[in-house]
A and B are shown apart, each in its own frame.
Chain A
């Protein structure tokens, strides 16, 4: 293309035009403010968590004692709870989300897939506190009365796996929290998966159908391997969300500071501990320990998101080629 491009026009114009520079600096300032927000978040959390981390050191990560009275705090129980519930959410949510994406892109009639995709994305728009209430008043009683007793009877006697399904079926607990999280991350993973699946070049699909592959074989051996990176990126985005989700979990986790092998027992997560205890915490060490929990959560989700963005960016680059 000939003539003046936008870039050269930007460079030529500013001199003598009174509002150009101020406007430019205004937008630049806003961008720097956004950067500063994240930076100061990290700084403030680090400063406020230093008393607890300084006192307990690495012990903070491995000790599961959480005693506000004697002021001895260890984060093992909330960290374990966070990881376990997020793991359950991913194990349950990922296959379902992939199934939804394959259904919407490969099976469903074209006219239906748009509205259905919107419906599933609305699932993501529902505020998390609604999931929490639904979990507490509807799902937990349902699971506690009908599903968990059967699980305990069926799987409880089996060695090793049986340890995961022990104890009275309260209804609230790690498994219920994990299941609610699965419902919450499902629309995120499904919508990313749908986007990356639609970047597969039509020739690949046609070639696979041409040699006689079934729809499932096309999905399993062509589509999924082709957009593996993008799919993993989507799953990591979901994981980031599952790790940090607060309200949905707080309702159904039971807030018990202990690590039990059984998934049916109450536990706690970092976010649920913060939501339940922060406003009632007194004493600098207690508050500082809670902030440390927050810092750990921030670091973990940041790492997960970093991986997700990296993988998704690579998938994008590949789609652009």
Chain B
């Protein structure tokens, strides 16, 4: 028989347990604290700088009043164009992976490359599109910016589409096939419809991701001080305008940068929350 455990050892273990668990609680409190701190500063500085002119006037030269209308419009145009291209490519690729290829070797390769693209540094994507489009065309353009954003959006959509389609039970497909429905119609009418909310969530998350991206736009769309919808020329965007203004020494520009930062964070967080609630509803 062993002797009774040393009470001092037990006390020490208990104390150590309490210490480590408090550190874990502290870690969680710290992370939430940082999130709160960032949001607090953002709201505090952003709200003061926000006005109607932020949405109606174009970016000003230093020292005069202005807004971010051209940057917001540029962001919307490029994000929109990127999603129009990325959503079909992404959904079709996800469909191929989940419906046709499944466990083939080629599918594993596509999956792996897609995951790599998903976490590739976004500035490298900017560099690539610069070499691919800006150099041959000879000038920066909104189209190049849109392509860079699309390259970032595609892997997000591929991933969520495949994940969502895999969740659709095979019995649904088998039931439809048993009725004599061609497989492509099974996909369009049964599995896509069953996974619609999940796929929508993926597209929304992709929009959220690319609307905050700055790095890939720096050498593709560049920037522009004027209100423009000409995708063939350099195009302003909200993140690049924020970058330019925040790094500047002028106070009004920095103010505008904070206003822009608030606008962009609010929309990105909103998109995320909408996507999450949509996904949660889809689960039920």
Contacts and interface: CB of A to CB of B under 8 A. Distances in A.
Interface in A263-309: 271, 274-275, 278-279, 290-291, 294, 297-298, 301-302, 305, 309
A10 B116 CA distance: 30
Interface stretch (A12-20, A69-77, A201-209): A12-20
B230 to A, nearest CB: 20
A172 B106 CA distance: 47
Nearest to A220: B20
A4 B186 CA distance: 15
Contact of A19 (B130, B184, B211): B184
A120 B31 contact: yes
A26 B42 CA distance: 45
Contact of B183 (A13, A28, A95, A279): A13
Most chain A Cβ neighbours within 10 Å, of B27, B247, B265? B27
Interface stretch (A51-59, A96-104, A150-158, A163-171): A96-104
Contact of B25 (A33, A34, A103, A278): A103
A190 interface: yes
Interface string B80-103: 000000001110110111011100
A127 B214 contact: yes
A269 to B, nearest CB: 10
A294 B123 contact: yes
Interface residues of B, number: 93
Main secondary structure, interface of B, reads: helix
Interface string A90-133: 00000111111011101110000000101110110111111111
Given A28-B100, A122-B35, A305-B116, A45 B128 contact: yes
Contacts of A136: 246
A241 to B, nearest CB: 7
Given A35-B109, A129-B242, A116 B121 contact: no
Interface residues of A, number: 95
A243 B35 CA distance: 22
Nearest to B109: A35
B30 A13 contact: no
Given A30-B92, A104-B28, A134-B42, A244 B131 contact: no
Interface of A: 3-6, 9-10, 13-14, 17, 19-20, 23-24, 26-31, 33-35, 37-41, 44-45, 48, 95-100, 102-104, 106-108, 116, 118-120, 122-123, 125-134, 136-138, 183, 186-187, 190, 214-217, 219-220, 237, 240-241, 243-247, 250-251, 271, 274-275, 278-279, 290-291, 294, 297-298, 301-302, 305, 309
Given A37-B151, A103-B25, 19 more contacts: A28-B96, A30-B88, A31-B107, A33-B89, A34-B154, A45-B131, A95-B27, A96-B30, A107-B25, A120-B32, A120-B35, A126-B38, A130-B38, A133-B242, A137-B45, A244-B123, A244-B124, A278-B127, A290-B127
